[in-house]
Amino acid sequence: MALQRSAGNAAVSRMIAQSRGAEPKVPFAAPSTRSKRTQQESGIERGESPPQQQQRVEKDQQATRATRSGKAGTSVKGKEKAEEPEEIGNPTLRFTSRYDGPTEQSLGGSQAIGFEQVATLRRADGMTTRAEDAYDFWQEVTDENRQITPEAVNYRPKKSKRPWVVDGPFRPPYNADDGTVVNAADHISFNDSPGFSGGMRMTNGYWLSSYEIRFRWKVRRKLGGRFTKNEPFWTSGEMVHRVESVFDPDNPEASAPITATAAGTRTWNVELSN
């Protein structure tokens, strides 16, 4: 069973699988790296406190002062009234995908069997608020596979499956350092490569009999504070990639065709809850 990205115990599972050699391979990607925000400090020159021009404040001026939270008003004498926040409209979500792998596999070969996909959330028309400041957008994934391993008895495949999880770096805060996430003013794109590729290819002694991976996306108006999976949110339909390749145990050295079906292309008009 294979997920493109996961965290914590998934990384440990990969190292164990690689060290044993005979365990089914599962696809992983390099974990996301988060850059720390540097806090800029500036010195404050101490002088007369308070300055003479601020020592006397008329009582009527004090009465018009207000907090910026809106609880006590929004105006300060001599300043313009703060603008109302922009209404956050319904975005659109577009998904595209394709198969990116060989047409055949062999038990003694090295095949990168996987897909390429992009999920793009575009803010509502006419908005000026940045997409990341308007929406929480995240990707979820589940998958299962059947593999023949080097120590399989009579070339009997082993099946594995994983439940739905939030998929690696494809969630707030958006790490755009490695190109997997594009965080632009008017849209957020998730560039993903699910499957068996890179360092997790189907290498010598392994055979991928079947592979199915499902994706869905969730969107809501942005919640303050740390990202959570709390409701309310809108959920897309599921998009499914599939791979099949029939192994001939009577002729194990022979290659066999790979039948791959990408999830395709789809666009959703997201309907957000109030």
Q: What is the pLDDT of residue 225?
A: 86
Nearest 5°: phi and psi at 219?
Answer: -140, 140
Rounded Cα–Cα distance for residues 116 and 119 (Å): 11
Task: Classify residue 216 by burial, with Cβ atoms within 10 Å: 0-12, 13-18, 19+.
Answer: middle
The count of other CB atoms within 10 Å of the CB of residue 98 is: 14
9-18, 102-111, 225-234: segment of lowest average pLDDT: 9-18
Comparing 2 with 124, which gets the higher pLDDT?
A: 124
- Out of 15-29, 122-136, 161-175, which region has the weakest mean confidence (pLDDT)? 15-29
Higher pLDDT, 72 or 203: 203
What's the pLDDT score for residue 80?
Answer: 55
pLDDT tens string 89-117 = 999 999 999 999 999 999 999 999 999 99
Pair 249, 222: CB distance under 8 Å: no
Name residues whose C-beta falls within 8 Å of residue 17's C-beta, 6 or more positions apart in sequence: 23, 24, 25, 26
pLDDT value of position 111:
94
| Greater model confidence, 26 or 12 | 26
User: Token digits for 254?
Assistant: 């022979």
DSSP for 132-191, written as a single string = HHHEEEEEEEEEEEEEE-TT-GGG--EEEEEEEEE-TTSSSS---SSSSEEE-SSEEEEE
How far is 149 from 157, CA to CA, in rounded Å? 7
| Residue 196: strand pairing partners | 113
Q: Dump pLDDT digits (tens) for 181-192.
A: 999 999 999 999
Which residues partner with 189 through β-bridges? 120, 182
Q: What digits encode the pLDDT tens for the residues 192-212? A: 999 998 778 899 999 999 999
Rounded to whole angstroms, how far apart are CA atoms 188 and 173? 11
